[in-house]
Amino acid sequence: MTYETILVEQQGAVTLITLNRPQALNALNSQVLTELTAAFNAYDADPKQRCAVLTGSGEKAFAAGADIKEMVDKDAADFFLQDFFSGWQTGVVATRKPWIAAVAGFALGGGCELAMMADFIIAADTAKFGQPEIKLGVAPGMGGSQRLTRAVGKAKAMEMCLTGRNMDAAEAERSGLVSRIVAADQLVAEALKTAQAIAAMPPMAAMVNKEMVNIAFETNLAQGLLTERRLFQILTATQDKKEGMTAFVEKRPGVWKGR
């Protein structure tokens, strides 16, 4: 597929996806969703690709939100009948392999929500996160009220949604929204380095670790612990478990089969 709103490149086992509408601060319109869905599906389906990084083009924004110009003339029936925003869950969140959001500049509204769909966020020191939808007479629609609340707790999430104020990188790290902060000019290089480290892990184990952590947000503790044990037990049937433990005992690096 040829893309117009994103750039996709492969660096070894890592796929780098770049939102590429800098003139609109990478606002997320339907075409971006269609293309991101295709790119994430292709990444998931390619056995040679083992981790992905999503970032924004330009220094100013990761993404300044859902495209307001695309929404301004739609009415409630349009949004309801199209089940507007539902495609982000099926097209992006459903990705089974790990991926990292590398955020510099604005991650507002849908931009913040897209970053939070990632397995974790690495932020540039220029990053600003916010859910300003209330200023447009609406509210988050791509998961912000749920994922932000789970990430930073009720007090900060509620304040951000009700006032539309932004959180800077330092506050985002303090609050647990991002895993760490790096200098803006090092952001993509650092994210790719982290992605390469993940890509060097046994790939089924990476997928299962991702699934396990995500299950913590979907279920109660007893069910989560049971699911963790069962998934652990399933992994012990893989060739990579045998190889990983044998390699440790033999004091050599593991060579992964991916099964």
Q: Does 106 bind ligand CAA (CB under 6 A)?
A: yes
111 carries an active-site annotation: no
Task: With CA atoms as reference, report the closest residue to 11 among 50, 57, 59, 68.
Answer: 50
Q: Does 133 bind ligand CAA (CB under 6 A)?
A: yes
Residues 139-158 that bind ligand CAA (CB under 6 A): 140-142, 144
Residues 23-42 that bind ligand CAA (CB under 6 A): 24-25, 27
Output the six-digit token pair for 163.
């006032």
Contact 152, 131 (CB under 8 A): no
Q: Which of 132, 202, 244, 254 binds ligand CAA (CB under 6 A)?
A: 132
Q: Which of 38, 136, 216, 231 binds ligand CAA (CB under 6 A)?
A: 136
Pairwise CA distance, residues 224 & 145, whole Å: 23
Q: Does 115 bind ligand CAA (CB under 6 A)?
A: no
66 carries an active-site annotation: yes
Q: Does 231 bind ligand CAA (CB under 6 A)?
A: no
Residues 62-101 that bind ligand CAA (CB under 6 A): 64-69
113 carries an active-site annotation: yes
Q: Is 58 left (phi over 0), alpha (psi -120 to 50) or beta?
A: left
Task: Give, rounded to a whole angstrom, the gap between the first and last alpha carbons of the chain.
Answer: 29
Q: Would you give the binding string for ligand CAA spanning residues 152-191, x where CB under 6 A is met? A: ----------------------------------------
CA angle 44, 50, 54 (to 5 degrees): 75
4 carries an active-site annotation: no
* Angle, helix 203-215 to helix 239-249, in steps of 10 degrees: 110
Closest distance of CB 3 from ligand CAA, Å = 19
Contact 159, 111 (CB under 8 A): no
* Amino acid identity for residue 250 in this structure: E
The label of the residue with tokens 């990705």 reads 95
* Catalytic annotation, residues: 66, 110, 113, 133
Q: Which residues bind ligand CAA (CB under 6 A)?
A: 24-25, 27, 64-69, 106, 108-110, 113, 132-133, 136, 140-142, 144
